[in-house]
Structure 1
Amino acid sequence: MTKFNEYQLKPFLLEAVEKLGFTEPTAIQQQIMPHILKGNSAIGQSHTGTGKTHSFIIPIVERIDVERQEVQEVQAVIAAPTRELGTQIYNEILRLTEGSGIEVKSFIGGTDKQRSINKLKTQPHIVIGTPGRLKDMVNERALFVHTAKILVVDEADLAFDMGFIEEIDQVAGKMQEDLEMYVFSATIPEKLKPFLKKYMESPIHVNLGDKRPTAEGLDFYLVPVRSKKKMERLKEVMEVINPYLAIIFVNTRTNADYVADQLAKDGIKVGRVHGDLAPRERVKMMRQIRDLEYQYIVATDLAARGIDIQGVSHVINYELPEDLEFFIHRVGRTARAGMKGLAITLFKPEEDDAIVRVEKMGIPFQQKDIVKGEFVDLKERHSRKTRVRTTNEADAKAKTMVHKPKSVKPMYKKKMKWKMDEIKKAERRKNRKK
Structure 2
Amino acid sequence: MNETKFRKFNLKDFLITALEEQYIQEPTEIQERLIPSILKGKSVIGQSQTGSGKTLTYLLPIVHQLNTTEQVCQAIITAPTRELSDQIYKELMKLIEGNHRYRIRKLVGGTDRKRMLEYLKIPPHVIIGTPGRISDLIKHEELSVFTATTLVIDEADLMLEMGFIKDVDFIASRMAEHLQMLVFSATIPEHLQPFLKKYMENPKVAQVDAKQSASHEVEHLLVPHRYRELNELIMKICSTINPYLALIFANTKSKVDELYESLVQAGYRVERLHGGLSPRERKQTMKRIERLECEYIVATDLASRGIDIKGVSHVINVEIPDELDFFIHRVGRTGRAGVSGQAITIYREVDEHKIHALEKRGVSFKHVDIKKDEWSEIAPRKRWKPPRKSKPDVVLPKPKKVTPGYKKKLREKQAKLNKRKK
Q: Given the two structures, how large is their TM-score scaled by the length of structure 2? A: 0.88
> How do 1:112-151 and structure 2 match up within 5 A?
112-151=112-151
Shift of 1:203: 0.8
CA distance in 2, matches of 1:273, 1:309: 12
- Contact (CA 8 Å) 2:152, 2:182: kept in 1 or not? yes
**CA–CA distance in structure 2, aligned partners of residues 218 and 140 of structure 1:** 49
**1:362: which partner in 2?**
362
Query: 2 CA distance for matches of 1:151 and 1:62?
Result: 15
What is the alpha-carbon distance in structure 2 between the residues aligned to residue 300 and residue 44 of structure 1?
A: 24
Q: Residues 384, 304 of structure 1: CA spacing in aligned structure 2 closer, same or farther, 3 A cutoff?
A: closer
Match of residue 58 from structure 1: 60
Instruction: Return the alpha-carbon distance in structure 1 between the equivalents of residues 362 and 166 of structure 2.
Output: 35
Tell me how large the CA RMSD over aligned residues is: 1.6
Question: Could you say what secondary structure the match of 1:212 adopts?
Answer: helix
CA contact (8 A) 1:81 1:306 kept: no
Out of 16, 23, 32, the residue aligned to residue 14 of structure 1 is 16
Q: Select which of 47, 50, 64 maps to 2:49.
A: 47
Give deviations 1:15-58, integer Å, cap 9, x for gaps. Answer: 00111110000000100111111111110001111111111111
What amino acid maps onto 1:358 in structure 2? L
Question: How far is 1:384 from its partner?
Answer: 11
Q: Is the 8 A contact 1:273 1:282 kept in 2?
A: yes
* 1:256 alignment partner, SS class: helix
| Count of aligned pairs | 382
- Structure 2 CA distance, aligned partners of 1:139 and 1:184? 26
Name the structure 2 match of 1:409: none
**One-letter amino acid of the counterpart of residue 215, structure 1:** S
* Separation in structure 2 between the aligned mates of residue 383 and residue 347 of structure 1, nearest angstrom: 13
Corresponding position of 1:181 = 181
What stretches of structure 2 of length at least 5 have no aligned partner? Answer: 386-422
Distance 2:277 2:307 in 1: 14
How far residue 280 of structure 1 moved from its aligned partner, in angstroms, is 0.6
- Aligned ranges 1:222-241 → 2 under 5 Å: 222-241=222-241
Partner of 1:77: 76
Please give the per-residue CA displacement for 1:135-160, whole angstroms capped at 9, x wherever unaligned: 01212222211111011100000000
Task: Return the alpha-carbon distance in structure 2 between the equivalents of residues 384 and 40 of structure 1.
Answer: 46
Post-superposition offset of 1:121 = 2.6
Residue aligning to 1:217: 217
User: Following TM superposition, where does structure 1 have runs of at least 4 consecutive aligned residues deviating by more than 4 angstroms?
Assistant: none
CA 1:86–1:17 in structure 2 vs 1: closer, same or farther (change >3 Å)? same
Where in structure 2 are the equivalents of 1:83-102 lying within 5 Å? 83-100=82-99, 101-102=101-102
Higher mean C-alpha deviation, range 339-348 or range 158-167: 339-348
Unaligned runs of 5+ in 1: 386-434
What secondary structure is seen at the aligned counterpart in 1 of 2:311?
A: coil
Secondary structure at the aligned position of 1:144 is classed as coil
Cα deviation, residue 97, structure 1: 0.9
Inter-partner Cα distance in structure 1 for 2:366 and 2:156: 33
Aligned partners of 1:178 and 1:168: how far apart in 2? Answer: 16
Q: CA separation in 2, counterparts of 1:136 and 1:198?
A: 22
Q: What TM-score results when the alignment is normalised by the length of structure 1?
A: 0.85
Q: Percent identity?
A: 49
Equivalent AA in structure 2 for residue 250 of structure 1? A
SS in 1 for 2:324: coil
Note if contact 1:186-1:209 (Cα within 8 Å) is conserved in structure 2: no
Structure-2 separation of matches of 1:273 and 1:181: 30
AA paired with 2:274?
A: H
Q: State the partner residue of 1:282.
A: 282
Q: 2:302 matched to 1:272?
A: no
Deviation track 1:197-226 (CA, whole Å, cap 9, x = no partner) reads 010011111111344312232111101121
Larger deviation, residues 89-98 vs 203-212: 203-212
SS in 2 for 1:325: helix
Rate the CA distance shift 1:235–1:202 in 2: closer, same or farther, 3 A: same
Shift of 1:84: 0.3
Q: Which residue of 2 aligns with 1:397?
A: none
- Aligned match of 1:423: none
